[in-house]
Structure 1
Amino acid sequence: MGVSVASTTSGLTPGPTSTRRSTGTAPTRLFLLDGFRLVHDGESAGVPRGLQRLIAVIGLHPGCSRSYLTGLLWPDIPEERALSRFRTGLWRLRKYPCRIMIADGDSVRLDPGIVVDVDDLVRVATDVRADGDLRLAFKVLTAGRDDLLPGWYDDWVLLDRERLRQLRLHALERIAHAHVRAGEFGEALQASIEALRTEPLRETPHRLLVQIHLAEGNTFEALQAFYSYRELMRRDLHLEPSTAMYDLVEPILKPLRDGGRSRRTVGTSTTVRSGSV
């Protein structure tokens, strides 16, 4: 089972990544999160690693020129040689019955019927910015917690992996903030904790946890979240939390410090008076 390339002269007009839609009951699916997998007619298609790289880079950079794509795939070889490899890859894809790519002059993109998991993640994160359905967004963002193409270390993969990770993190934080504003603290906690799973040292979700606990009146849990983060920063990075983080808990810590000083002062005064007597 495999894939093929078609030209737009066949009557198909390529569309942007965000407009890919299934045209049948069992669409071909391309999974790039948690590893490469191409599924056609409900079965995984065996694709050699070299062609996997070609399909993945086109899926992540739809409509880009061949020169740009070859520069990503083979940055250390002359352009003509890289373009020759690219053409060979496209020719190999034509041998398979399942069409996955469309060549439009100098640009290449996936067939509009291909459903890509990365597209779902990007679309949902965009919907969050547009005040979309927060519960649906959280469900999809949770399902997309896996890294892009783990075990691949090409520069373009590393950059896209970080791009998607940051996109997902910011979307989760926006979801949490929106739930806090709506007074939905349980949902806000879920989104914040999901962001923490993605990046344990990122301060923003830790700050959100403290804010949520304070909004619910749970002072002990707010302090516990603060101290846990401070210990994590000191142990792993030898750094302190930001001023903004300290400011969140200062209204709680100041009375505790003042109370401690008062007790010490009272104790000292009593001792002096006892000694003088």
Structure 2
Amino acid sequence: MHSITPASDAPPPSRVVRVLGGLSVTCAGVRLVVPPGSRRLLAHLALHPAGVDRRAAAGILWPAVGDGRAAGNLRSALWRLQQVGCPLVEAEQTVLRLRDDVEVDLRHLEAWATRVLAGAPEPADLAVDPGPIAQLELLPGWYDDWLLAARERLQLRLLHALEALSRLLREAGRPAAAVEAVHVAVLAEPLRESGQRALIEAHQAAGDWVAARRQYDAFRRMLRREVGVEPSAELTAVATAHG
């Protein structure tokens, strides 16, 4: 995540919850052991910075048991989480949330994507390594229903952001970096026409018209083979244009 967070003179955060690539917690640089029964609660709170309703969270995290048992499981998970030796959760009567001084890696990534997609990046946003971004996965190996939609949304958002990053790099006069940024997105989802178009345009911006046409021809063959359709007329027009 260091490549996504802009450089700063501020001291490193004392409490960090990471959900990208797996769940982990560090406090003052020391990695904490999160009790097994509290891991899902901590992850759920990390995904909801505004906080969650206690009753709703209990039902989401323990859907296979009754309301009373789910509420008991939530209380137990919360109590164990409060015994890890580092305050992480702010518990109100009806709402649970992570404390304001707890940083979550996902929020840095979301903020980066928001700036890039809005076309208003900070200078450091254009210097990130696109490879690690494309490989980021939200809590891999977890298959809870409440998590699957969030993981899919994040993956789609990252693909959009990498395509937008490529366009911004082209506009900044860095076509080679633009090719690299969108290439990792195309490798992740080769049938997305928006990614293929961004890659073709990046090749063209770099003056490599042969690579641009080769990319289009390869995409056309793959689309015919896998889906049985042709590329859009708009993409064909872009790919067959001449510099």
Say whether the 8 Å CA contact 1:134–1:175 is kept in structure 2: no
Gaps of 5+ in 1: 1-22, 253-277
Q: What's the secondary structure of 1:99's corresponding residue?
A: coil
Q: Runs of 4 or more off by more than 6 Å in structure 1?
A: none
1:195 and 1:208 map into 2 onto residues whose CA distance is 10
Q: Name whichever of 96-105 and 77-86 sits farther off.
A: 77-86
Match of 1:8 in 2: none
Pairwise CA RMSD of aligned residues? 2.3
Same amino acid, percent of matched pairs: 33
Question: 1:186 and 1:80, CA in 2 relative to 1: closer, same or farther beyond 3 A?
Answer: same
Gaps of 5+ in 2: 1-9
Match of 2:180 in 1: 190
In structure 2, which of residues 70, 75, 99 is the aligned counterpart of residue 82 of structure 1? 70
Cα distance, 1:179 vs. partner?
A: 2.2
In structure 1, which of residues 214, 217, 234 is the aligned counterpart of residue 224 of structure 2? 234
Structure ranking higher in helix proportion: 1
Q: What's the secondary structure of 2:100's corresponding residue?
A: coil
* TM-score in terms of structure 2 length: 0.84
Cα distance, 1:251 vs. partner?
A: 4.2
Say whether the 8 Å CA contact 1:192–1:205 is kept in structure 2: yes
Are 1:174 and 2:161 matched, yes or no?
no
Q: What's the secondary structure of 2:52's corresponding residue?
A: coil
Are 1:36 and 2:23 matched, yes or no?
yes
1:142 and 1:219 map into 2 onto residues whose CA distance is 24
Cα distance, 1:140 vs. partner?
A: 6.7
Query: How many residues are aligned here?
Result: 230
Question: 1:141 and 1:167, CA in 2 relative to 1: closer, same or farther beyond 3 A?
Answer: farther
Say whether the 8 Å CA contact 1:101–1:110 is kept in structure 2: yes
Question: 1:97 and 1:182, CA in 2 relative to 1: closer, same or farther beyond 3 A?
Answer: closer
Match of 2:208 in 1: 218
Cα distance, 1:44 vs. partner?
A: 2.4
1:217 and 1:248 map into 2 onto residues whose CA distance is 14
Give deviations 1:50-99, integer Å, cap 9, x for gaps.
Answer: 31111000110131211222232122332232122111111222223211
* TM-score in terms of structure 1 length: 0.74
Say whether the 8 Å CA contact 1:138–1:191 is kept in structure 2: no
